[in-house]
Amino acid sequence: MDRCLWCENPATRLCDGTVGWTACNDLGQIGTGSEHFTCDAPMCDLHAHKVGHICGTKRMSNPGLNEPSAIRWGDTIDHCPSCHDDPLPRGVVMTAEEAESIRRRRRAPVVRLRMRSISTAPRQDAPEPQRPAHAQLELPSLADLSAPARSAAMRGGMAGWGQVGGLPHHIRYVEPLPKRPGRKPKCHCGCNGPKTHRGMANGVCLTSGCELAMRRWQREGEGRS
């Protein structure tokens, strides 16, 4: 016996539930010479259902001088949860191969359920989940912000600064675009001029264009976002 079929506890006994019987004659009848097949599912004390007792006396063939001539013995009759909740029909004649097939068929759902619970259980040595990157960002200092950003932060606060922008209560402001080599994209307002400024809100860039378009977006909220 290894482990209980229903949990991780060590197995302490085998199921005594009857699976079937062997025939005692050619007519397929059960009689004195018939032997019965038991479930034999390994189980622990927690999952064992005690349904009866059995006892007897075993006579010693050659007892010693100080040894008894007979030994009394006793044991419990225990059923597994499957045999207790769904007992098999009594008095069924079968072969050893058929009994083994019934054992495997009755244990299969329990094994599948155990494997599913083991695969979905959290590992004890699994690393702790990492926090998202936005949860680890630190708010910048007011001294590090540009003058328009500092003014907006002091008036509207810095909750979610640099992470979420464009909400109705966020204050819009305009900053010059950083200088970069190469041609600049054209503004969308129709002036055919390059984009020189960006529209910001709560530390997030929402749009860009020429300075006139961005001032209009800041004042009226009509810029393209």
Find the range with the poorest average confidence among 1-10, 137-146, 147-156: 137-146
Question: What pLDDT sits at residue 73?
Answer: 72
Question: What pLDDT sits at residue 225?
Answer: 43
pLDDT tens by residue, 22-77: 887 777 778 777 888 899 999 998 899 988 888 777 777 777 667 777 777 778 88
Q: Kindly calculate the radius of gyration of the chain based on its CA atoms and give it in whole angstroms.
A: 41
- Name which of 54, 102, 101, 55 is nearest 78 in CA terms: 54
CB atoms near residue 70 (< 10 Å): 11
Q: Give the pLDDT band of residue 223 (cuts 50, 70, 90).
A: very low
Taking the C-alpha atoms of residue 85 and residue 198, their distance in angstroms, rounded to an integer, is: 72
Lookup: tokens for 192 = 């055919």
CB burial class (10 A; 0-12, 13-18, 19+) of residue 160?
Answer: middle
Q: Write the CB contacts of 195 (distance below 8 Å, at least 6 apart in sequence).
A: 177, 184, 185, 186, 187, 208, 209, 210
Q: Which residues is 79 bridged to in the sheet?
A: 49
**Whole-prediction pTM value?**
0.46
Q: Which of 20-29, 50-59, 114-123, 170-179 has the highest mean pLDDT?
A: 170-179
Collapsing DSSP to helix, strand or coil, 115 comes out as: helix
Residue 69 vs residue 166, higher pLDDT = 166
Question: What pLDDT sits at residue 198?
Answer: 92
Q: Give the pLDDT band of residue 119 (cuts 50, 70, 90).
A: low
Question: What pLDDT sits at residue 62?
Answer: 73
Q: Give the pLDDT band of residue 224 (cuts 50, 70, 90).
A: very low
Q: Alpha carbon 45 to chain centroid distance?
A: 28
What's the first-to-final CA gap in the chain, in angstroms? 70
What torsion do the CA atoms of 168, 171, 173, 178 make, to the nearest 10 degrees? -80
Mean pLDDT of 78-83: 90
CB atoms near residue 138 (< 10 Å): 7
Counts for the chain of helices (H) and strands (E), in that order: 5, 9
Going from N- to C-terminal start, the domains of the chain cover: 13-115, 140-220
Q: Which of 106-110, 140-144, 171-175, 184-188 has the highest mean pLDDT?
A: 171-175
